[in-house]
Structure 1
Amino acid sequence: MSNWSVYLSGEIHTDWREQIREGVEKLGMPVSFSAPVTNHSASDDCGAHILGHEDNKFWYDNKGAKVNAIRTRTLIEKSDIVVVRFGDQYKQWNAAFDAGYAAALGKSLIVLHDPSLTHPLKEIDGAALAVAETSAQVVDILRYVIRGELER
């Protein structure tokens, strides 16, 4: 069985990525994971740190966004499946962009969020092939699509 590439995008304040990784590892499934840089300050500061400081916040953020986009675009393009997690603590505009980019590329998209976010995320949910509420559901989806097995 070939290795599946799964990109894990979205909120960085909970351990949802680890839950999915651990669940997949426990099942011994052939999956490799990738993700954006989840160190918030590194992600925010990478452009100015590498390419030179900017006094204007717009250009400071612009440099960082473009450097991060090199990683994000490359990994989404190489992925088989993109999982995008929306948390309720912050607005994740970058996660929404990743979901749209994945959908535009025709990637298999799984969206993960609490039911309270169903209305604000209705367009993103509409583009997804599955909308999950828990990391365990994402693991079950991966088990099914990779092995054709349902949990017993």
Structure 2
Amino acid sequence: MTSERIWTVYLSGEIHTNWRVEIMDAAKHRGLPIRFSAPVTDHPASDDCGVAILGAEENKFWHDRKGAQVNAIRTQTLIKDADIVVVRFGDKYKQWNAAFDAGYAAALGKPIIVNHDDSIVHPLKEVDAAAMAVAETPAQIVDILDYAITGRLAGYTDR
């Protein structure tokens, strides 16, 4: 049975692949009642927003801190408003911000779905332990969302 509710799903994590688009397109194709949100995924804008808005900093620490604090206005608000938080870890870069988002979501009691491949299971063991599910592919995430929202188990028929 489909819920009348519109779910809010926050998509946190790596910005170098199209995983967000895959999830959003598949969810739309299935007709899932989801409103997606995400951090700013324009890497230079995200890095430099603080100094672009609030003024230059000679010290890189303060440059980064201004950007992190301005970005946190968005990320903290959207995570608080989310029904489910999906956190994707890629293998190319260390996504400390994604790990922080996962911890923040866990502290708020939000259901978390983590997405990463087997090559980084060990460094993410604590994040995985806080998650309700650990998926290897965007397709698995959409199957989880479909099941959580509608009760449909993709690929299975009633017995």
Residue 106 of structure 1 aligns with an amino acid whose one-letter code is G
Residue identity matched to 1:38? T
Cα deviation, residue 144, structure 1: 0.2
Q: Which runs of 4+ in 1 moved over 3 A?
A: none
Q: Which runs of 5+ in 2 are unaligned?
A: none
Aligned to 1:90: 93
1:124 maps to 127
Look at both structures and tell me which one has the larger radius of gyration over its CA atoms: 2
Q: 1:24 aligns with which of 15, 23, 27?
A: 27
Amino acid at match of 1:100: G
Which residue in the other structure is 1:101 paired with? 104
Partners in 2 of 1:59 and 1:120 — Cα distance? 28
CA shift at 1:115, angstroms? 1.0
Q: Deviation at 1:116?
A: 1.1
- The CA deviation string for residues 48-83 of structure 1, in whole angstroms up to 9 with x for no partner, is 000001011000000000000000000000000000
Distance 2:56 2:127 in 1: 35
SS of 2:114's equivalent in the other structure is strand
1:133 Cα deviation after fit = 0.1
Cα deviations across residues 20-60 of structure 1 (Å, max 9, x unaligned)? Answer: 00010000110000000000000000000000010110000
Query: SS of 2:94's equivalent?
Result: coil
Q: Could you say what the CA RMSD is over the residues aligned between the two structures, in angstroms?
A: 0.4
Amino acid at match of 1:19: E
**Structure 1 segments unaligned to the other structure (5+ residues):** none
Q: Secondary structure at the match of 1:36?
A: coil
TM-score, normalization by structure 1: 0.99
Output the CA distance in 2 between the equivalents of 1:140 and 1:29.
11
Report percent identity of matched pairs.
Answer: 68
